[in-house]
Structure 1
Amino acid sequence: MKILVTGAGGFLGQFLARALLADPSHTLVLTDLIDTPIPKGSQNAQNATVVKGDLIENLDKVVTPDLGAVYIFHGIMSSGSETNFDLGMKINLEYTRTLLEKIRHTCPKARVIYASSQAVYGRPFPEVITEDVFPSPEGSYGTEKLMCECLINDYTRRGFLDGMSLRFPTVSVRPGAPSQAASSFISGIIREPLADQECVVPLTDRSFPSWVCSPRTLINNLLHALKVPSDALPSHKRTINAPGLMATVQDMRDALAKVAGEDKLKYIKEVDDEDTGRILRSWAYNFDNSLAYKLGYKADTSFEQAVREYIEWTDEQKKLDSQ
């Protein structure tokens, strides 16, 4: 299958590309505004093509009649969208709609997997959130994601494409540098101390909960999304809350100490950042993933598992770098 990944230079795009390339029957088109390498250690690397540049300017290059699937990962993250409303709307909404239109007219049978977010939900939260809870985002990022979900629903209902939106939990532990996301500390609280660097947590309340999943689990679920039958969901309701688990700041600290030692906790600095805290408190943290489980998606077993997986990944990268 020929598969397009937008925003492929980000860490999820890189993880997904490597996983997809493990299947020699797949050919990939990886596109992003930034330099996008073919992931280290990839099998069948010759099956991947990289297109660098503005997505809209390169639509004719990256969207072709033979595409079988598209993963939509490009975007401006939560804090970035809140700081720059116009840029967030342009990239997250307008670029996505333009891409969907191109798919509609070029490869309407393609499976389109859209990276949405739990940020579509806003307060007041019910005790547990399911897909039946009405989304009411409190930030521009969640609003843009919800509008794109509605587009995916309608384009699928009308037969313009075969869409599916996955509302991601916060992914931790992310490799690389901190991002513009308000949730960036949820990876930084593990990643930076492991590298003997300081992480600033924008909350002093250690009981603050987040809904999280590991990169490995999310990638497995994204691969699974290629296989879910189209008729498993109604044509006008194509959104799934991807499985996650609840972890507090204290849970994260405890996992770090257990896996890497108590001395790593000295690198964690806690402050109250009013703007970031407002965004974080507007996000839900307790989900019923029954629909996802019914469709075959999986969840992590613990946050500690995510920490151990990150250490395994960093050790693997060091070996690849030394070769």
Structure 2
Amino acid sequence: MKILITGAGGFIGQFLAREFLKDPSNQLVLTDIVNLAVPKGSLNPQNAKLVKADLSQDQSVITKDLSAVYLFHGIMSSGSESNFDLGLRVNLFTTLRILEAIRQVAPGIRVIYASSEAVYGRPYPEIITEDIIPTPEGSYGAQKLMCEVLINDMTRKGFIDGLSLRLPTISVRPGSPTAAATSFVSGIIREPVQGKECVVPIKDRSFPSWVCSPKTLIVNLIHALALPSDALPSHKRAINAPGLLVTIQDMMDALAKVCGEDKLLHIKEVEDPELGKILHSFAWKFNNKLALSLGFRPDTSFENAVRDYVEFLEFEKNPS
């Protein structure tokens, strides 16, 4: 297969590319607005083509021989909220241009769009499923929802074969802190493990988050590629990807159990009203019956996510 991954400089794109490159029959096109490298430790690195491009201006990476596209480019939640014009340009307008290029150049191919639980807004029902009408409270969620609607319609028309995966907060996310309001959900593990301070913007340790580990996310993204086109109605292509409910206390307990009580000394709790406003707008009570019925996989525990991250750090030191 020949697969295009946008936003491929991010950790999701890098993890997914490394997994796809295990199969020598796969050809990848990795594109981002920043300089790229083939993921460290990849098998068959010669099968990855790296393209630095501004997809809002240049859609030449869309070619007629593509088999599938993963859309990961974007401006995160707090970044979209603080800079409306940038979020609109990257999250909405660029996605629309890419989808139109696919329609013109490579119609009918599978398109997997990384949407978000941020499409939901208060008041929440007791349990959230895909039957609940999304009413986003932030610009990020609104932009994601608009792209979802177009993907639904373009799939109904046969222009693409689209799926929108509404992703939970991914933890433990490697790398540096991001412009996501939920960045601390990874930082609460990532920074202390490396002897760095993490500032948690909410003092309430019972605050809940709906999370998914990177390892499980990659399994589900690959599963989405093989999902039969008729598994969902052609006009309803959004799926709430499986998640795991954890509180700040749960995350701290997992950190202490896996990495030692001393790591908790690197956590600083400081109430941030602006970030808190965004964080409290996110949903956290989901029933993933649709995703599970389609074969998507759930995480089993947050402790395993912490162990996965520790293993990732060891891999980074010696990827061979």
Could you say which TM-score interval applies, normalised by the shorter chain?
A: over 0.9
- Residue 261 of structure 1 corresponds to which residue in structure 2? 260
Q: Say if 1:68 and 1:109, in contact at 8 Å, map to a contact too.
A: no
CA distance in 2, matches of 1:24, 1:238: 30
- Residue 103 of structure 1 corresponds to which residue in structure 2? 102
- Residue 311 of structure 2 corresponds to which residue in structure 1? 312
- Residue 82 of structure 1 corresponds to which residue in structure 2? 81
- Residue 11 of structure 2 corresponds to which residue in structure 1? 11
CA distance in 2, matches of 1:286, 1:121: 11
Task: Give the SS at the match of 2:67.
Answer: strand
- Residue 140 of structure 1 corresponds to which residue in structure 2? 139
In the superposition, the TM-score normalised over structure 1's length comes to: 0.98
Aligned pairs for 1:211-222 (under 5 A) are 211-222=210-221
Task: Give the SS at the match of 1:113.
Answer: strand
- Residue 64 of structure 1 corresponds to which residue in structure 2? 63
Task: Give the SS at the match of 1:59.
Answer: coil
CA distance in 1, matches of 2:102, 2:67: 10
CA distance in 2, matches of 1:303, 1:39: 25
Task: Give the SS at the match of 1:42.
Answer: coil
1:140 maps to a residue whose letter is: S
2:6 maps to a residue whose letter is: T
Unpaired runs of 5+ in structure 2? Answer: none
How many correspondences in the alignment? 320
Task: Give the SS at the match of 2:209.
Answer: strand
CA distance in 2, matches of 1:9, 1:261: 32
- Residue 32 of structure 1 corresponds to which residue in structure 2? 32
Q: Say if 2:203 and 2:269, in contact at 8 Å, map to a contact too.
A: yes
In the superposition, the TM-score normalised over structure 2's length comes to: 0.99
C-alpha deviation, 1:28, in angstroms:
0.4
- Residue 252 of structure 1 corresponds to which residue in structure 2? 251
Aligned pair 1:197/2:181, yes or no? no
C-alpha deviation, 1:109, in angstroms:
1.9
CA distance in 2, matches of 1:172, 1:3: 25
CA distance in 2, matches of 1:48, 1:251: 39
Provide Cα deviations, 1:93-139, integer angstroms capped at 9, x if missing partner: 00000000000011112100000000000001111100001100000
CA distance in 2, matches of 1:36, 1:247: 33
Q: Say if 2:56 and 2:90, in contact at 8 Å, map to a contact too.
A: no
Provide Cα deviations, 1:10-34, integer angstroms capped at 9, x if missing partner: 0111001101111111100000011
- Residue 233 of structure 2 corresponds to which residue in structure 1? 234
CA distance in 1, matches of 2:2, 2:318: 30
- Residue 171 of structure 2 corresponds to which residue in structure 1? 172
Provide Cα deviations, 1:130-155, integer angstroms capped at 9, x if missing partner: 00011000000000000000010000
- Residue 298 of structure 2 corresponds to which residue in structure 1? 299
Taking only the aligned residue pairs, the percentage that are identical comes to 66
- Residue 21 of structure 2 corresponds to which residue in structure 1? 21
- Residue 156 of structure 2 corresponds to which residue in structure 1? 157
Task: Give the SS at the match of 2:318.
Answer: helix
Deviating beyond 2 angstroms after TM superposition, the runs of 4 or more aligned structure 1 residues are none
CA distance in 1, matches of 2:62, 2:126: 42
2:46 maps to a residue whose letter is: Q
CA distance in 1, matches of 2:195, 2:152: 45
Q: Say if 2:56 and 2:93, in contact at 8 Å, map to a contact too.
A: no
C-alpha deviation, 1:224, in angstroms:
0.4
C-alpha deviation, 1:59, in angstroms:
1.0
